[in-house]
């Protein structure tokens, strides 16, 4: 089965315009955010997918503002004074160390299921996220979180994040797609990168965050069969339009790959690879959305391809989309065409209001890390991290008690916000049985 581990939105969720090349982040910079609503919207999605019978887990937010990062950059003295000083001297730095960006767990790590790896274990490599300062603070705690949730070394292997340098930029599962006939059978792993060799085309306006070198290193570390993994160049022209991760322009699940006509530099290479490498009873299903139906701009505005494609226990496939898809007539018409077409297994579209996350360029697929698990592996996951009715109630109460309903950038300097966040996170580690994963707890 495939489990989804959604990131819980943190108490400092805000709009700081930090992610260059992510148009929603730039457009909504300096708006007031609502962390409480953001977290509750995320929980609603988790609840709905759990109700459908999917294995749904949750990953905690990180400690923000990140005081240890500020200390490492030379800020000394009382915490309240440090926050005030940074706010006056370097407000952009305060925003960077306060971002709740770990909520987008599609960027937490790349995960290869045991059916694909030579040692038959589930492999995790946390993403170094070195393209953006605010995200580069995540891997340390992410590593601790993943080890606390997937602890059992008989099933789970945790690699260190790759060296944090532009030549090895890695953004995790957002650029990684696994295709297979059945989850438990050996699959094909597709790695999509934006920065390859000098001779390959590259974007001109916006950064290519994912490097081919990182993809290749992860495939080696995860002991994948080279014949069953492909490294494919993203179309640099779409990166320049705001497709900062492949999951903004393509999504795959089981045998289905749904992608935009302009997603890849050489889509024929992908088709050839699928033809020659595919195994298993179900044939691959490619759903290519033509630019005449949906422009790249509409794809980015609606996040059509940042939908989740999930299978319920009856094997039926569902498209989990953001409300913005329904509000765009062309996109909604395309979704209706996909759902009605007899030659693909997608039976319906489930619509969610994720506006708080969407305003930072984070849709349904950004908010989850997929982990394919067999029964013994599923049983070995930290049981307190699964979503059920009781956990949801506890998390909703926790959010309502500890989260603010309005946050602007100046609030990040408020020492009370730091205290509130730490109190909340300390309780959360108990609710999720995680132990001391945060710097302030150690
Ligand atoms: N596509 C996937 N898988 N994830 C979406 C990540 C959105 C995130 N936004 C931000 O980091 C904005 C933060 C701000 O501007 O305050 C990013 O660009 O890295």
At 310-333, the pLDDT tens digits run 999 999 999 999 999 999 999 999
CA 414 / ligand 1 centre spacing (Å): 24
Token pair listed for 161: 């994040």
Confidence of residue 349 (pLDDT cuts 50, 70, 90): very high
> And the tokens for 357?
């996350």
Residue whose CA is at the smallest distance from ligand 1 atom 6: 362
Active-site residue, selected from the candidate residues 2, 63, 138, 171: 171
Summary mean pLDDT of the chain:
98
* Catalytic residue of the set 123, 155, 222, 245: 245
Does the beta carbon of 64 sit less than 6 angstroms from any atom of ligand 1?
A: no
Mean pLDDT of 393-420: 98
Range of the domain at 31: 2-441
Domain count, the chain: 1
CA–CA distance, 36 with 296 (Å, rounded to integer) = 32
Phi, psi of 441, rounded to the nearest 5 degrees: -95, -5
Report the nearest-CA residue for atom 17 of ligand 1: 19
Q: Measured from the CA of 173, which atom of ligand 1 is nearest? A: 3
367 lines ligand 1 (CB under 6 A): no
Query: Quick check: is 385 catalytic?
Result: no
Query: Is 359 in contact with 22 (CB distance < 8 Å)?
Result: no
Kindly report whether the peptide bond that precedes residue 65 is cis, defined as omega within 30 degrees of 0. Answer: yes
| CA 232 remoteness from chain centre | 20
What is the tens place of the pLDDT at every residue in 64-79? 999 999 999 999 999 9
User: How does pLDDT run across 169-186, given as a tens digit for each residue?
Assistant: 999 999 999 999 999 999
Q: CA–CA separation, 203 vs 236, rounded Å?
A: 5
Residue 171 is among the residues annotated as catalytic for this protein: yes
CATH number of the domain that 432 lies in?
A: 3.75.10.20
As a whole number of Å, the CA-based R_g of the chain is 20
Binding residues for substrate: 16-25, 107, 134-135, 209, 247, 360
Q: What is the ipTM of this complex?
A: 0.99
Q: How far, in Å, CA of 284 to CA of 270, rounded?
A: 12
Q: Which residue has the tokens 């946390």?
A: 126
pLDDT value, residue 33 = 98
Predicted local distance difference test score (pLDDT) of residue 229: 98
Compute the residue count for the chain. 442
What is the distance between the alpha carbons of residues 287 and 37, in angstroms, rounded to a whole number?
34
**What does the pLDDT read at residue 193?**
98
Binding residues: 16-25, 107, 134-135, 209, 247, 360
Q: Are 171 and 243 in contact (CB under 8 A)?
A: no
pLDDT confidence tier of residue 350, bands split at 50, 70 and 90: very high
Find out whether the beta carbon of 135 lies less than 6 Å from any atom of ligand 1: yes
Element (H, E) at 318: strand 317-322
Of 18, 24, 97, best ligand 1 pocket probe by most atoms within 8 Å of the beta carbon:
18
Please identify which residue in the block is written with the tokens 């309502």. Answer: 400
Residue 238: CB partners within 8 Å, gap ≥ 6?
Answer: 249, 260, 262, 263, 296
The kind and range of the H/E element at 285 are strand 285-289
**How far does the centroid of ligand 1 lie from the alpha carbon of residue 209, in Å?**
12
Residue 352 beta carbon below 6 angstroms from any ligand 1 atom: no
In this predicted structure, what is the pLDDT of residue 322?
Answer: 98
Those residues whose C-beta lies under 8 Å from the C-beta of residue 72, and which sit 6 or more positions away, are none
Q: Provide the sign of the torsion angle of the four alpha carbons 201, 192, 356, 348, taken in this order.
A: positive
Cβ of 247 less than 6 Å from ligand 1:
yes
State in Å: Cα 430 to ligand 1 middle. 28
pLDDT recorded at residue 143: 98
């Amino acid at each position: 089965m495939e489990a989804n581990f959604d990131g819980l939105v943190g108490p400092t969720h805000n709009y700081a315009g930090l992610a260059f090349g992510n148009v929603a982040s730039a457009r909504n910079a300096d708006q007031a955010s609502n962390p409480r609503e953001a977290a509750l919207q995320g929980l609603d999605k988790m609840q709905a997918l759990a109700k459908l019978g999917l294995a749904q887990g949750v990953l905690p937010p990180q400690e923000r503002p990140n005081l240890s990062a500020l200390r490492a950059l030379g800020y000394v003295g009382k915490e309240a004074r440090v926050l005030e000083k940074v706010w006056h001297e370097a407000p952009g730095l305060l925003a960077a160390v306060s971002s709740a960006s770990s909520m987008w767990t599609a960027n937490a790590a790349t995960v290869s299921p045991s059916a694909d790896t030579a040692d038959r274990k589930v492999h995790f490599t946390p993403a170094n996220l070195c393209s953006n300062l605010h995200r580069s603070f995540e891997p340390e705690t992410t590593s601790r979180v993943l080890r606390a949730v997937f602890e059992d070394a008989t099933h789970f292997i945790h690699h260190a994040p790759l060296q944090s340098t532009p030549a090895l930029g890695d953004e995790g599962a957002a650029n990684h797609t696994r295709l297979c006939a059945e989850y438990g059978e050996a699959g094909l792993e597709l790695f999509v990168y934006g920065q390859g060799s000098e001779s390959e085309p590259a974007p001109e306006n916006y950064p290519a965050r994912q490097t081919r070198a990182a993809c290749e290193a992860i495939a080696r570390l995860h002991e994948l069969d080279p014949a069953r993994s492909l490294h494919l160049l993203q179309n640099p022209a779409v990166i320049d339009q705001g497709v900062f991760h492949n999951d903004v322009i393509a999504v795959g699940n089981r045998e289905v790959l749904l992608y935009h006509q302009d997603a890849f530099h050489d889509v024929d290479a992908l088709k050839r690879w699928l033809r020659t490498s595919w195994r298993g009873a179900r044939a691959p299903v490619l759903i290519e959305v033509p630019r005449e139906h949906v422009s790249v701009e509409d794809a980015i505005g609606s996040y059509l391809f940042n939908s989740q494609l999930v299978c319920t226990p009856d094997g039926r496939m569902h498209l989990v989309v953001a409300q913005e898809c329904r509000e765009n007539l062309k996109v909604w018409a395309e979704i209706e065409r996909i759902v009605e077409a007899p030659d693909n297994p997608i039976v319906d579209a489930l619509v969610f209001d994720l506006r708080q996350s969407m305003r930072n360029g984070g849709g349904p697929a950004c908010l989850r890390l997929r982990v394919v698990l067999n029964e013994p592996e599923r049983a070995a996951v930290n049981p307190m991290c699964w979503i059920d009715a009781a956990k949801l109630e506890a998390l909703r109460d926790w959010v309502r008690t500890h989260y603010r309903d309005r946050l602007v950038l100046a609030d990040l300097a408020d020492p009370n916000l730091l205290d509130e966040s730490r109190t909340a996170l300390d309780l959360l580690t108990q609710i999720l049985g995680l132990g001391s994963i945060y710097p302030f707890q150690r």
